[in-house]
């Protein structure tokens, strides 16, 4: 019985392929495509009228949660605002944290969408609804910068946060992807 089902499936596939080949042959020979009026498209086209405004990234918190001899934990939070009427996908925020122009930490929130494989850590931004994103950043004490560690204990650190937010439209046909860079000194 399984052999008959397999033969029927193969037969149906062969017939389907023959029909597709016949349709293409008939349409290409009948000048079908030439009879379509100018300005009419068979496939949806990306709208050139839609202008995507850049998203707005704001640093709302960079504070010291805890400091020990081995490590320090920081609370890092961003507000991201979409000024567009359509939803935007925020793929990720890459950041670098500096203290007196010396890089002390790097990280990212989210994942970059690559090809057909999509990460699960992206964020949908709705119009004019601030989205708060953050994480706890851990800095290990290497012993190379005792002044920095002393400033952490005293909470007198001079921070700077630089980074980039990568975002895209939610419509696959537009293919729009962009980024904004930022630099904050809280």
Percent of the chain with pLDDT over 70: 74
**CA 75, CA 64: separation in Å to the nearest integer?**
6
Name the nearest CA neighbour of 134 among 75, 94, 185. 75
pLDDT tens across 57-116, in order?
999 999 999 999 999 999 999 999 999 988 999 999 999 999 999 999 999 999 876 665
pLDDT of residue 93: 97
- Confirm whether pTM is higher than 0.85: no
Please, what is the average pLDDT of the chain? 83
Lowest-confidence pick of 11-25, 86-100, 125-139, 169-183: 11-25
pLDDT of residue 177: 84
All structural domains of the chain with their residue ranges: 2-35, 56-184
pLDDT of residue 51: 79
165 pLDDT higher than 90: yes
**CA 18, CA 6: separation in Å to the nearest integer?**
18
172 pLDDT higher than 70: no
Cβ 117 vs Cβ 84: under 8 Å: no
30 pLDDT higher than 90: no
Residue with tokens 């016949």: 22
Structural fold of domain 56-184: Immunoglobulin-like (2.60.40)
3-state helix, strand, coil in the chain (%, to 5): 20, 45, 35
């Amino acid at each position: 019985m399984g052999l008959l089902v397999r033969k029927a499936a193969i037969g149906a596939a062969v017939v389907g392929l023959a029909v597709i080949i016949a349709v293409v042959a008939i349409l290409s020979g009948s000048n079908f495509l030439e009879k379509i009026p100018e300005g009419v498209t068979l496939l949806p086209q990306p709208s050139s009228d839609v202008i995507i405004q850049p998203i707005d990234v704001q640093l709302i918190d960079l504070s010291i949660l805890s400091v020990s001899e081995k490590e320090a934990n920081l609370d890092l939070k961003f507000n991201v605002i979409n000024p567009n009427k359509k939803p935007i996908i925020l793929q990720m925020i890459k950041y670098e944290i500096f203290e007196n122009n010396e890089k002390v930490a790097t990280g990212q929130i989210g994942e970059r969408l690559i090809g057909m494989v999509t990460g699960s850590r992206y964020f949908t931004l709705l119009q004019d609804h601030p989205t708060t994103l953050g994480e706890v950043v851990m800095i290990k004490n290497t012993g190379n910068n005792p002044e920095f560690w002393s400033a952490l204990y005293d909470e007198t650190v001079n921070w700077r946060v630089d980074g980039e937010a990568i975002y895209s439209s939610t419509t696959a046909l537009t293919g729009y992807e962009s980024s904004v860079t930022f630099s904050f000194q809280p």
